[in-house]
């Protein structure tokens, strides 16, 4: 089935203008698209609400805003600075190790390609793609839980996990939409197309959606 991505994107973009900007995009805007700070804020954002991610990231970056400065902080110190982000102790270790690896392996400069980014322990495809999009303004498709859920719910893809969704979207989604697909869908997934009981009655994509797996909606 051929999907009208031009129309879908135009509807989503119009709705997005009325919704909050995702926290990592806000960090990218505030830091002039610093790839390292985008990477670290993405790590902080995992299983953490946007408002907490934004506050925790700002708090951490006041103390350390480069791989060199960050690697000099202990994991415990980083964890305390990003509290109450989810799994803050574990994330403190991850952020410390990522920073040290970037300093030791890349002389403090974040690599600008997916292959090298994925060599960094603690960086998965979602984080790597988001760094490419928000940090380097490169064409990449970042697929998180919201993008994965909405694409399957609409019937655009039939996949089991975000990585599979990314690969399918690479085949069918026009490249001109890649950069903003995650940014827009994250916000839409947080506020309209929610995981449980989505607001289908106020969704302007209602008639384009197969509502796969939706049993209850508002």
All structural domains of the chain, each given as residue ranges with its CATH number in brackets, are: 5-19+141-208 (1.10.1670.10), 23-135 (1.10.340.30)
User: What pLDDT score does 3 carry?
Assistant: 87
> Long-range CB contacts (< 8 A, 24+ apart) of 126-129?
126/42, 126/162, 127/39, 127/42, 127/43, 129/166, 129/182
pLDDT at 1 (0 to 100): 57
110 within 8 A of 148, measured Cβ to Cβ: no
Query: Can you tell me the distance from the alpha carbon of 163 to that of 150, in angstroms, rounded to the nearest whole number?
Result: 14
- Report pLDDT for 217: 92
**pTM of the predicted model as reported, rounded to 2 decimal places:** 0.94
Note the pLDDT tens digit of each residue in 6-61.
999 999 999 999 999 999 999 999 999 999 999 999 999 999 999 999 999 999 99
């Amino acid at each position: 089935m051929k999907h009208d991505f031009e129309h879908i994107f135009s509807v989503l973009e119009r709705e997005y203008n009325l919704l909050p900007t995702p926290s990592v995009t806000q960090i990218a805007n505030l830091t002039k698209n610093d790839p390292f700070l985008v990477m670290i804020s993405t790590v902080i954002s995992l299983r953490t609400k946007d408002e907490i991610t934004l506050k925790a990231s700002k708090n951490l970056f006041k103390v350390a805003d480069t791989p060199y400065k960050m690697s000099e902080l202990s994991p415990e110190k980083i964890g305390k600075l990003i509290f109450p982000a989810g799994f803050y102790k574990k994330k403190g270790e991850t952020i410390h190790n990522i920073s040290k690896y970037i300093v030791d392996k890349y002389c403090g400069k974040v690599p600008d390609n997916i292959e090298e980014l994925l060599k960094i322990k603690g960086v998965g495809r979602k984080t790597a793609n988001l760094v490419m999009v928000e940090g380097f303004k490169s064409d990449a498709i970042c697929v998180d839980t919201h993008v994965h859920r909405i694409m399957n719910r609409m019937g655009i893809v039939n996949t089991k996990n975000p990585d599979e969704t990314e690969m399918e979207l690479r085949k069918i989604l026009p490249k001109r939409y890649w950069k903003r697909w995650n940014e827009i869908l994250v916000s839409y997934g947080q506020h309209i197309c929610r995981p449980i009981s989505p607001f289908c009655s106020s969704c302007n994509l209602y008639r384009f959606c197969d509502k796969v797996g939706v049993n209850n909606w508002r």
